[in-house]
């Protein structure tokens, strides 16, 4: 298959919750509570590089965020609903043991006039933060095999990252959703599905037991698992391309790694470059700076951890940066992506920026979600941390002030029935 006909991503839309809190505020509160052990929070703030994070309102959950990201994508691509064949959501913040988020998303889109055809595949995929990539591979491959140029797929990554209050992992929380328009002939990034490199092991670096809102992570061990899996999958990818690791690295124009927090992908890419190019730290730093890597990770520092969406928020930011750096010459640039899911699996795969990508990215300047936020108080944040279930129906919200209500037309959790079924509405 020629690069011009590669299946892959044709557009991206991002949804981030409105409220943001500075990491420094959280650290100051935890240090005040635990003066003797407060140094660990200050070290964690420095080692993660996090500046702020987004968190959802009481009436928001992974389903409403997924639907908001999908709505933005549909609005930017008229006619997409009529040709949709696949609707898949990757998440590790599921809301039901049986019903996928994709079904609720379909219902919400139908109610605002984006009526989807009944003859589509709806499903949810899970492998920690790699679940969205698993969905992307599946949808892109099925579209390519079907050979029907008019059909589309929608892949959404939607998650709420939660950790125990008072743990250092608390500084790496976040929430949001990223929607990907997937087509058999990509208009943004074509993917080479034949050379995906993989690495998987049974480890306990990160997990969230059934019934627990908070996940648990073994920090240093998880970093080691991430790096080792990254190198193993990268070498597998290079071998499948019949290229040396040096050729792959030097031939890549844009690097995008899963970014649960700012420092992890930065340090891991430097580590891999140093090992595979046999260079010192200074040269590895210069290498990734020359490739413009800061573009892709800047969002993680301010938005926080989107779990499955973290890689694709990074891709969104990397393409915006490359659009500025390369201009109309962005077409044909090579991308290397690394998707990590704890527990664990790593996929390293490559893509090519489509020739028409400049025009797609040019429209994104009107969707600057990172600068559109409201500063939350520490009290609002602590209220979110105390929640024991994902979302509170709007009519049961204890804080119905105007500033806390959904905007007109927004999706929201309307009710949780006595049998536990979740019902969604549109704010009027």
Domain boundaries, the chain: 3-375
Alpha-carbon distance of 10 to 187, in angstroms, equals: 4
**Residue 1 clears pLDDT 50, i.e. is over it:** no
Question: Tens of pLDDT along 37-49?
Answer: 889 999 999 999 9
**Residue 2 clears pLDDT 50, i.e. is over it:** no
Question: Tens of pLDDT along 390-422?
Answer: 889 987 776 667 778 899 999 999 999 999 999
| Percentage above 70 pLDDT, the chain | 97
Residue 367: per-residue pLDDT: 60
Alpha-carbon distance of 329 to 325, in angstroms, equals: 9
Alpha-carbon distance of 144 to 5, in angstroms, equals: 9
Question: Tens of pLDDT along 165-224?
Answer: 999 999 999 999 999 999 999 999 999 999 999 999 999 999 999 999 999 999 999 999
Q: What is the mean pLDDT of residues 96-119?
A: 95
DSSP-assigned letter for residue 332: T
Alpha-carbon distance of 152 to 39, in angstroms, equals: 51
Peptide bond into 344 cis (omega under 30): yes
The pTM (predicted TM-score) of the whole model is 0.96
Question: Tens of pLDDT along 48-61?
Answer: 999 999 999 999 99
Question: Tens of pLDDT along 120-139?
Answer: 999 999 999 999 999 999 99
Alpha-carbon distance of 401 to 395, in angstroms, equals: 12
| Percentage above 90 pLDDT, the chain | 89
Q: What is the mean pLDDT of residues 343-370?
A: 89
Between 3.30.70.120, 3.30.70.1230, 3.60.21.10, 3.40.47.10, what CATH number should domain 3-375 receive? 3.40.47.10
Indicate the average pLDDT of the chain: 94
Question: Tens of pLDDT along 225-234?
Answer: 999 999 999 9
125 in Cβ contact with 90 (< 8 Å) = yes
Residue 369: per-residue pLDDT: 66
Question: Tens of pLDDT along 263-297?
Answer: 999 999 999 999 999 999 999 999 999 999 999 99
Residue 368: per-residue pLDDT: 60
Alpha-carbon distance of 361 to 10, in angstroms, equals: 10
Radius of gyration in angstroms for the set of CA atoms belonging to the chain, rounded to a whole number: 21
**Residue 3 clears pLDDT 70, i.e. is over it:** no
Q: What is the mean pLDDT of residues 18-34?
A: 96
The dihedral formed by the CA atoms of 207, 51, 48 and 282, expressed in degrees to the nearest 10: 140
């Amino acid at each position: 298959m020629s690069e011009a006909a590669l299946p892959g991503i044709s557009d991206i839309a991002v949804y981030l919750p409105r409220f943001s809190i500075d990491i420094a505020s959280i650290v100051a509160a935890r240090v005040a509570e635990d003066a003797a052990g407060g140094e660990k929070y200050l070290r964690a703030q420095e080692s993660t590089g996090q500046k702020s994070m987004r968190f959802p309102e009481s009436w928001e959950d992974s389903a409403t965020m997924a639907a908001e990201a999908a709505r933005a994508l549909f609005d930017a691509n008229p006619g997409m609903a009529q040709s949709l064949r696949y609707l898949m959501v990757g998440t590790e913040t599921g809301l039901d043991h049986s019903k996928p988020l994709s079904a609720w998303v379909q219902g919400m889109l139908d109610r605002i006039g984006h009526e989807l055809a009944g003859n589509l595949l709806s499903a949810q995929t899970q492998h920690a933060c790699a679940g969205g990539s698993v969905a992307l591979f599946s949808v892109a491959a099925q579209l390519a095999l079907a050979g029907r140029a008019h059909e589309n797929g929608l892949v959404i990554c939607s998650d709420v990252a939660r950790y125990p209050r008072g743990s250092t992992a608390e500084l790496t929380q976040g929430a949001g959703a990223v929607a990907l328009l997937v087509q058999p002939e990509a208009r943004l990034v074509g993917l080479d599905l034949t050379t995906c490199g993989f690495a998987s092991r049974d480890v306990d670096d990160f997990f969230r037991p059934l019934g627990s809102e908070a996940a648990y992570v073994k920090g240093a061990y998880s970093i080691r698992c991430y790096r080792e899996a990254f190198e193993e999958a990268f070498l597998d990818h290079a071998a499948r391309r019949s290229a040396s690791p040096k050729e792959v690295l030097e031939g890549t124009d844009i690097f995008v790694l899963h970014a649960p927090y700012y420092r992890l992908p930065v340090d891991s890419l430097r580590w891999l470059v140093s090992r595979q190019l046999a260079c010192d730290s200074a040269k590895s730093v210069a290498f990734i700076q020359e490739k413009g890597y800061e573009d892709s990770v800047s969002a993680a520092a301010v938005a926080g951890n989107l779990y499955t969406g973290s890689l694709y928020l990074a891709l969104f930011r990397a393409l915006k940066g490359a659009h500025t750096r390369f201009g109309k010459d962005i077409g044909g640039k090579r991308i290397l992506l690394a998707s990590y899911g704890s527990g664990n699996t790593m996929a390293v795969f490559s893509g090519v920026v489509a020739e028409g990508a400049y025009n797609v990215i040019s429209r994104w300047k009107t969707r600057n979600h990172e600068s559109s936020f409201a500063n939350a108080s520490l009290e609002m944040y602590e209220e979110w941390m105390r929640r024991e279930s994902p979302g509170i129906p709007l009519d049961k919200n204890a804080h119905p002030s105007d500033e806390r209500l959904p905007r007109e037309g927004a999706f929201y959790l309307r009710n949780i029935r006595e049998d536990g079924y979740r019902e969604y509405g549109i704010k009027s």
